[in-house]
Structure 1
Amino acid sequence: MQVKDLTVEELKLLIQETVTETLQNLLTDSDEGKQLKPEVKQQLLDSLEKTQAGEGGISAEEVAKKLGLTW
């Protein structure tokens, strides 16, 4: 069947199903259920601890410069 052969209601339903499917794909966490490697988990915990202690990180401008981007 071609789109030209659909009724208005059938076309609306097709569009609705397509939008719903697309949103579900975009909102699904592809990392769900996966475990962090212990070293990555430790790096994140260390970073959080430093941030909570008031230590600054790398500025966005510095990151952009390292990547050759104009900020």
Structure 2
Amino acid sequence: MADLTIDEFRELVQEVVIQTLSEMMIDPDEGLELRDDFVEELKQSIADVEAGGKTVPAQKVAERLGLIW
């Protein structure tokens, strides 16, 4: 490693950063399927909203949970 030129070192660092960012951005749930009961809950939730049901803005949910949104 001591024999690397500045350009080679920069390239190595760039490759490591790109690889690390790529690994961090991978969706761990990719390829998994939703459970049937969860799919039904989602469908029911969508139907409720389409029928005029009440929704809660994400900002309100975040506030209730003490999250910074």
TM-score over 0.5 for the pair: yes
Q: Which runs of 5+ in 1 are unaligned?
A: none
Instruction: Tell me which residue corresponds to 2:56.
Output: 58
Return the TM-score normalized by structure 1.
0.65
2:22 alignment counterpart: 24
TM-score computed with the length of structure 2 as normaliser: 0.66
Structure 2 residue runs of 5 or longer lacking an equivalent are: none
**Matched residue type, 2:5:** T
Distance verdict in 2 for CA 1:21–1:46, change over 3 Å: same
Q: CA deviation at 1:50?
A: 1.8
Identity %: 30
Q: Which amino acid aligns with 1:61?
A: K
1:45 is displaced (CA, Å) by 1.4
Tell me: CA distance 1:14–1:61, structure 2 relative to 1, closer, same or farther (3 Å): same
Closer, same or farther in 2 for the Cα pair 1:25/1:61, shift >3 Å? same
Q: How many residues align?
A: 66
Runs of 4+ in 1 over 3 A off after TM superposition: 62-65
